[in-house]
Every structure is written in C-alpha cells, then in structure tokens.
Amino acid sequence: YNTVMLDIRFIRENADLVAEKSKQKGYEVDIQKLLELDNNRRELLTEIEQVRADRNRLSTIVVGEQPSSHKIEEGKKLKSELANLEDQLTSVNDEFLKLLKAVPNMPSDDVPVGISEAENKVTKEQGDKPNFDFKPKTHWEIAEGRGLIDKVRAAKVAGSRFAYIKGDLVKLQFALVQFVFDTLTSEETLKGIIDKTGLQNISPKPFTPVLPPLMIRTEVFDAMDRLEPREERYKVGSEEDNLWLQGSAEHTLGPMYMGEIIDIDELPIRLIGYASSFRREAGTYGKDTEGIIRMHQFDKLEMESFVNSEGGMLEHLFFVAIQEYIMQQLKIPYRVLQKCTADIGKPNARGIDLEAWLPGAGNYLETHTADFMTDYQARRLGIRNKVLNTGGQEHDTKSFPTNFVHTNDATALAPGRAIVAIIENYQKPDGSVEIPEILRTYMHGQTSL
RNA sequence: GGAGGAGUGGCCGAGCGGUUGAAGGCGCUGCUCUCGAAAAGCAGUAUAUGGGAAACCGUAUCGCGAGUUCGAAUCUCGCCUCCUCCGCCA
C-alpha cells in the first residue's frame, strides 16, 4: 500500500490521476485551474519574498544610528509595493485554497469504483441467522408494544425522529457501553483480536475512554472536512457562538491534537469516545421512519486513532477486526461491505461498513462504519509526528523532521442500532427478548427483557 | 455576568520599537579528557515554506488575526486560552 500524499506537490506531479480519482468519488475538480493558481501563487510569493528581503536589509541598521531620510523614503516605497503584491497574493491564495480543499482524498487502490452505494461490495457474511418457528417481529413492534420506546410523546416534546428510550432498554444500553469500554481498554483482549486476525506488527495499546465536547467550532468542523453538508448539521446558540452540534464523536476527537507535533513513542494514540450525536437527517423524509433506526439524536461509541504514516492501513484493518469481534461477542449475524468510491466520503481513502441482519424487518441494517483518512485530515488539521531516523531512533529533541499522522475513525458500537439488532435476533414467541450472554454480567444476571 | 493578571523555543526564563530566530539556564547530541563513568571544557541543538542536484540562500513564525511604523516579540484593536477574586449555577 502506498501512502497517498495529497498535498499540492502530489497534485502537481499526478494531475491526471487526481482528476480521475476525484471523479470516481463524484467530485468534479478543475485541476488545471488549480495548477494555474499554484503557479501564480508561487510567482507572487517569490516576488514578495524578494521585496521583503530588500526591506529587511534596509531596516537593519547600526544600533544608535538614525536611518537617513533617503532610507525612510526607500522604505516607504517598498512598503507600498509590498502591500500591493500582498493583496494580489491574498486573492490568488484564497482561490487556490478553495480549490485545493475541494480536492477529495484519493481512494485506496482496492476501493471499488462505483457511482452509488448500490455498488458497495459485500466481502463477508458472518454468523448464523436465527431460525424462528413463528413470524419474527420488527424491533418496533416489540419495543413499542412493551413500552420500551415512546416516540409519540417525544414528538410532542421535540418533534419527529426523537424518542424516549425506557426501562430495560436503558439498562441494556449501559450494559453495551460497559462491555465496549471493557473490550477496548483491555490490552489482553486487543492482543487476542490481533492474533486471531493475523495482523502483523500492530500495537495492542489499549484505547483511552473519552467523554468529548458535543459542540464544535465552525473552523474546526471545516478542518475535519465534516462540516459539509451543512444542512445535515445543527447550528447552536447565537451567531457569535460559532458552534455546531457534532454529528459523531469523530468530529471532536479527530481535532483533539490539531496543531501539535506528537512524539513517536506516544503513537498510536487510541481513543474511545462516548457521545450523543446529532443529525438533521435532511432529505430522508419518509425513510427509516419506523422505530429508532434513524434519529436526530443518538448515542455512539466511536474509535479514533492517530498513527504514523506507515501504520494507517493496518490500523484501519484492526478497527474493522474490533468491530467484527464486538458483533461476534454479541452473536449478531452481520455482513461486511467494502464501500465504493461514491460512498466512502470526501476525506476517506477507504471505508468499510458492517451491517447487522434484522430477521423481523428482513433486511440488513448498517451498524458500523470504519473510515481511513490517510494523512488527509491531519494535513488540514496540522497534526504531525516526529519521524524516526535511519537507526530507528527518534531524532534529538530539538531537530527532527516531521510527517503528517494518519487518522482512522470507526464505530465501536452504536447502542441504538445494536439494540434494534438484539431485539430482532433475540426475540421469543411471547414477545420477550433474551439478553446476549456477554451482556448479562453487566445487567446483574438479568437474562431477558 | 463583574474586576484583575498572564500566554516567548522540548522545558524554565530574559527581552517591552532597530543585525533578536530570539540572552541565560535546563535538557538533548557529538567531540575532548578518562580504562570506563561522573565532573569539566568545546561545539551543535525549532518548524514551515520558496529556490537549488547539493552545499546553501531567501521568507514566515514569540497564543491567533488585523493595524500603526522606514522597521514590531516589543505599541494599538479584535479573538482564543489559562489563572485569581466576586456573583450565579449542575
């Protein structure tokens, strides 16, 4: 796997490839225009730096000596010349950056080319679908009937796509959360997953649990390249507040280290965040309206990691392995999808979805997604790591080259959708629901709800 | 919400208009000395970016962004962050 360095130098040298791959992802980018602006920008920069050098030379005087009026006149001339050039640069640069930021990350070579999610490829099916000797119900038929979910009153209070989750389902959610935290903070468990999957050379370093802020500044949201589409986001407070509700813990975990240079021995940094997430679900009217599948507010356990640029792909595969492990522990049948170019998202190089089988609904439901961003987000956020020298040692503390880190994020578990899958797969003829064995200790031995 | 104080290199800390990318110290690296180590001495020790095959040269960066000035780490304004006191509050 080759690291895709999507900086302007890469684009300069691979203009056709970048245009082609952008198109595959559904983004039309005028690369020719971008390169023109780049040239323009660099010419101006050279000129400006020349004038600045002149200015610096001129304003370097012997201490105590006053500059001559001739020098001051000369300085004034340079000043206005510089102001003029800088104005030009600002406008060229703005346009340049706008176009540069519009270029999506390059898909990894194994991402199938496709124009819609219909072209995602199923790469694996795992787990036995349950056989019922009765007609299985949907999660909604079961939960509503038993008073575990109340959407009517929620609609009264907050509108559609909100719900009151009640009773045993609340306990079940916290059991799920505990189970996931225990899994991801155990080095031993992670080692087991690594061994079983056969991944080589990957650290079993445990995840650090995090409760992140649920709001995020406009600039940071944009730097993550997750602000768009804005109509999907909730803006909060007054204009000056400049804050949005996050749509995933990724949005506030990813920029945690922005602007920082990270020591080699601190990597990988692995975080497992728990947060309520908010989405407007614009344009989904009439879709997934039954039950709690698509809500404006839902809770999610999200994995996020920062690794050096050699380990990004491996970390991505590890994240998927963790997701599969969790589904297997819960004994929920699922399939794995490799997302196609149209579906992986602008900052992504690769994306995987896990979908749980819902016997009541008779279809699959996306429960997990894993995103690999290479250094794309890190470049926008300014997250670097020190680079090892040829001897494998870190360079001395004051002098070191740096690289952009690779970022990965992935759902560890979305309790809402996991609950849907559990209800449908573990239902009994009398409408009760068995509790997955792995969760029982977290529910004081309770075996059904 | 009210009143104050502070943000300088990996860390501590000087500088408050003119060769200051930034004194001094700590740390780190190399060398000298030593059988070795410590100590001491000497030297080196930020990042980004443009140009260059390279050596190297230019430019930017003292929380961030604007402004004043021939010249800004230093002056002015806005923003961010942190600290102290008062008020309010889960």
Structure confidence by residue, pLDDT tens digits, A62-118: 655 677 788 888 888 888 888 888 888 888 888 888 888 888 999 999 999 999 989
What is the distance in angstroms measured between the alpha-carbon CA of A252 and the sugar C1' of B73? Answer: 33
How does residue A3 score in pLDDT terms, banded at 50, 70 and 90? very low
- Quick check: A241 pLDDT over 80? no
Q: What are phi and psi of A235, to 5 degrees?
A: -90, 140
Q: What strands, in cross-sheet order, belong to the sheet with A269-278? A: A121-126, A334-338, A350-358, A363-372, A406-413, A297-307, A269-278, A208-210
Average pLDDT over residues A292-312: 90
- Quick check: A296 pLDDT over 50? yes
Q: Are A82 and A351 in contact (CB under 8 A)?
A: no
Structure tokens at A94: 């703005």
What is the distance in angstroms measured between the alpha-carbon CA of A312 and the sugar C1' of B39? Answer: 46
User: Which nucleotides in chain B lie closer than 7 A to a protein CB?
Assistant: 9-10, 18-19, 27-29, 44-51, 58-60, 70-71
CA–CA separation, A14 vs A34, rounded Å?
13
Which nt is closest to the CA of A65, judged by C1'? Answer: B18
Give Cα separations from A15 to A21, A100, A115, A181 (angstroms): 10, 12, 22, 44
* Of A146, A287, A273, residue with least CA distance to A207: A273
pLDDT tens track for A361-397: 999 999 999 999 988 888 888 787 776 544 444 444 4
What is the distance in angstroms measured between the alpha-carbon CA of A213 and the sugar C1' of B86? Answer: 28
- Quick check: A399 pLDDT over 60? no
Predicted ipTM?
Answer: 0.84
Average pLDDT over residues A335-349: 93
CB A402 within 7 Å, strand B: yes
Structure tokens at A53: 């050098």
Which nt is closest to the CA of A387, judged by C1'? Answer: B47
Top pLDDT among A138 and A260 is at A138
Q: Which of residues 74-103 of A touch strand B (CB under 7 A)?
A: 75-76, 78-79
Average pLDDT over residues A33-62: 86
Give Cα separations from A425 to A295, A300, A326, A367, A446 (angstroms): 21, 21, 15, 14, 17
Which nt is closest to the CA of A79, judged by C1'? Answer: B70
Top pLDDT among A229 and A399 is at A229
What is the distance in angstroms measured between the alpha-carbon CA of A3 and the sugar C1' of B15? Answer: 45
| HEC per residue, A92-144 | HHHHHHHHHHHCCCCCCCCCCCCCCHHHCEEEEEECCCCCCCCCCCCHHHHHH
Q: What strands, in cross-sheet order, belong to the sheet with A261-262? A: A261-262, A384-386, A402-404
Q: What strands, in cross-sheet order, belong to the sheet with A243-245? A: A215-217, A243-245, A234-236
CA–CA separation, A104 vs A28, rounded Å?
10
